[in-house]
Amino acid sequence: MSFERAKRVNGGDAPSWPATGEGGPPLIARMFEVQDAKELALAVEQPEEEAHLSERPSPMATAGAGSFDQIQEADTSEPRMPFIGSVLDYVPGERITIERKLNVDEDLYLADHAFVHAPGIKPTSACMPVVPMTMSLEIMAEAAACLAPGYGLLGFEDVRSVTWIDLADVDEVALNIVAQIVRHDAERGAFSISAAIYVEGKSSPAITATVLFGDRYLVELSPTFSDLSNARAHSLTADEIYVERHMFHGPSFQCLVGEFVLGDEGIVGELCVRSPEKLFESTRSPQLLTDPCLLDAVGQIVGLWAMEQERYVFPIGLTKLEIYRPTPPVGTRAPVRVEILQSEGKTLVADVEVQDGEGGVWMRISGWRTWKFRWEKRLVDFRRQPDRHLLATPAPAPRFDGAVSLMLSSAELKQFDPALLARYCLSADEMLTYKELERFPQRQRQWLYGRVAAKDAVRLWVAKRQQGEMSHPAAFAISSDERGRPFVKPAPGLGSAPSVSISHCEERAIAVAHEHDIGVDIERIATRDVGVVEAFASAKEREMIGRFPVQERDAWLTRLWCAKEAVGKLLGVGLEGKPLAMEAAEMTGDGQIVLSHKDRNARARVSTIEDDGFIIAYADLEQSVA
């Protein structure tokens, strides 16, 4: 969008024609399902075969008291409101309660609004699909429409999104949508209808709003949009934003188009009206009362402005939204202007105006509210493209050619919810193990960090070896044998997988991948009493450690313990409760230790490294040491 065009975005006029379609554009909230309140009452009270409501009944006219399965079997060529499921309670002119079962096979838009990016690797339900706030507005509007037949949707007031509505690890979840007429303002010609969405099993609503219906559009908002100060072009086009996944949205919600102009207190751009034909499985022509996908893009363009401030946002509500026209034709490019009103603290508040592509105003929003937070760039990059970025960082390198060693700590991941991290990185089988550890939160977190570090090490090792791209971390699994030794399960694209070893201490995890068997261990340097030392260090080993400066004694005792742990992992047997079965043959000042395992007739060289108060030990069979 050019700077000159950007200056004209807020120049449109709001219309004054009726909301019912008389003498103006088509009715926004025309109801094929419910011709009037009496018709809906009949549909609820009578069995399907007795409800003769018209010569050509709509899908919902006979399904008002039925199930969503009945709706799916209806004629999909007939426009219908897609969120009107089973009517549980209805008092004409007062209230209605509708149950709508969200289903990943029916509600196709969910796949385009999932937090975890794992296409072709995980099913939709495993990717934490979330109902957008703007789709929740559509859901509440459809329920409210049943209480105002013959009237048009004017907008929303006091929208408050409290919790996400998600389908995490389930294919279906039931919603109860409750709507009740609060008042009829004759002077404004508007019905105020309170609406709320409850998720099954929850006593509090996930989102609430007041939905406005009437016979004429309301024009009560008149936001002021100042000239963009310090105007500058955004560095990315809309196509680049989506291709590089700076926005996580799939095709249905990719309504940003063209270029964007940023200012210190605002942003200008264009939104595109997309076809709704792929939002639902059972209908290609849903009768939507709003354009939930384009409205979601309002949040996206607000998010673009926030990203320039190194912040990220999720919508949590709005003060008021007024609609002045029906949804423009598919393909319409609608100019949009955002004025940032507040950006301090944890919330960002903005006013928004969206035009209709013909110079008129389509809608205005007052007080669009978002929750604002900051993510480290490394975490952001991983979230948007987990098959191209690593979470773990390089650990002090072992003295073995070809090894990849990576480390993670809780401090680095404090902005990453562990449950969401698990969804990004773990396969289905690994997720089961993760959930089995729920009773032991610290152990669960350590196990997760170890698996994430190991997967990063494996996919980096494979990419280097194949000179190709990295795998998605959830595309393969790391399992354990009967002794607890980790190994990489065969998977497409991995080829000959490396050996892997994992260790964790406190809130740190380390993993190493190598062509040959290898062992790793990490321990914090600490003072150990005489009894503990004598339990794992022979007299010969204690004498060898005594040659080093006394101030290094704790570090060398930790090096020896780490070395024995690493050799136990290398051999796949652990310490077997007999640390004295291993004995050091050599210790050198650079941290190298040669250990002989008496019971296993094995000899290993261990490289020990001090790092930020910890000792890291890498063990390799002596004959394979470079």
pLDDT above 60: residue 135: yes
250 contacts: CB under 8 Å, gap ≥ 6: 111, 112, 113, 114
**Residue 50: predicted pLDDT:** 30
**Residue 401: predicted pLDDT:** 83
Question: Using an 8 Å Cβ cutoff, are 438 and 390 in contact?
Answer: no
**Residue 13: predicted pLDDT:** 54
DSSP string of 302-316, one letter each residue:
HHHHHHHTT-EEEEE
**Residue 80: predicted pLDDT:** 86
Gap between the Cα atoms of 32 and 214, Å rounded = 18
Confidence of residue 19 (pLDDT cuts 50, 70, 90): low
**Residue 43: predicted pLDDT:** 35
Is domain 375-515 in CATH 3.90.470.20, yes or no?
yes
**Residue 73: predicted pLDDT:** 42
Gap between the Cα atoms of 361 and 335, Å rounded = 9
Residues 172-217 have pLDDT tens digits of 999 999 999 999 998 888 999 999 999 999 999 999 999 999 999 9
**Residue 79: predicted pLDDT:** 65
Give the pLDDT mean for 326-349: 96
pLDDT above 60: residue 378: yes
pLDDT above 90: residue 222: yes
Domains 1-12+219-374 and 375-515 share a fold: no
**Residue 56: predicted pLDDT:** 27
Q: How far is CA 458 from CA 367, 449, 464, 473, 626, in A?
A: 47, 14, 10, 9, 21
Mean pLDDT, all residues of the chain: 87
The model carries a pTM of 0.84
**Residue 23: predicted pLDDT:** 37
Is residue 175 packed enough to be buried (19+ CB in 10 Å), middle (13-18) or exposed (0-12)? buried
In a 3-state reduction of DSSP, which class is residue 339?
strand
Domain positions in the chain are: 1-12+219-374, 17-216, 375-515, 518-626
Residue 622, phi-psi category: left (phi > 0), alpha (psi -120 to 50), beta (remainder): alpha
The residues pairing with 156 across neighbouring beta strands, listed in sequence order, are 211, 321
Residues 524-571 have pLDDT tens digits of 999 999 999 999 999 999 999 999 999 999 999 999 999 999 999 999
Question: Using an 8 Å Cβ cutoff, are 473 and 455 in contact?
Answer: yes
Question: Using an 8 Å Cβ cutoff, are 48 and 42 in contact?
Answer: no
pLDDT above 50: residue 374: yes
pLDDT above 50: residue 481: yes
Residues 72-124 have pLDDT tens digits of 344 444 668 999 999 999 999 999 999 999 999 999 999 999 999 999 999 99
Tell me the backbone φ, ψ of residue 451, rounded to 5 degrees. Answer: -65, -40
**Residue 493: predicted pLDDT:** 80
**Residue 187: predicted pLDDT:** 86
Q: How far is CA 569 from CA 459, 507, 608, in A?
A: 21, 20, 15
* Number of Cβ within a 10 Å radius of residue 509: 27
- Return the CATH architecture of domain 1-12+219-374: Roll (3.10)
pLDDT above 80: residue 314: yes
Q: Which candidate, 105, 104, 129, places its Cα nearest to that of 116?
A: 129
Give the pLDDT mean for 34-55: 34
Residues 566-611 have pLDDT tens digits of 999 999 888 888 899 999 999 999 999 999 998 888 999 999 999 9
pLDDT above 50: residue 482: yes
Q: What is the CATH number of domain 518-626?
A: 3.90.470.20
Spell out the CATH class of 17-216: alpha beta
Residues 286-299 have pLDDT tens digits of 999 999 999 999 99
In a 3-state reduction of DSSP, which class is residue 465?
helix
Is residue 325 packed enough to be buried (19+ CB in 10 Å), middle (13-18) or exposed (0-12)? buried
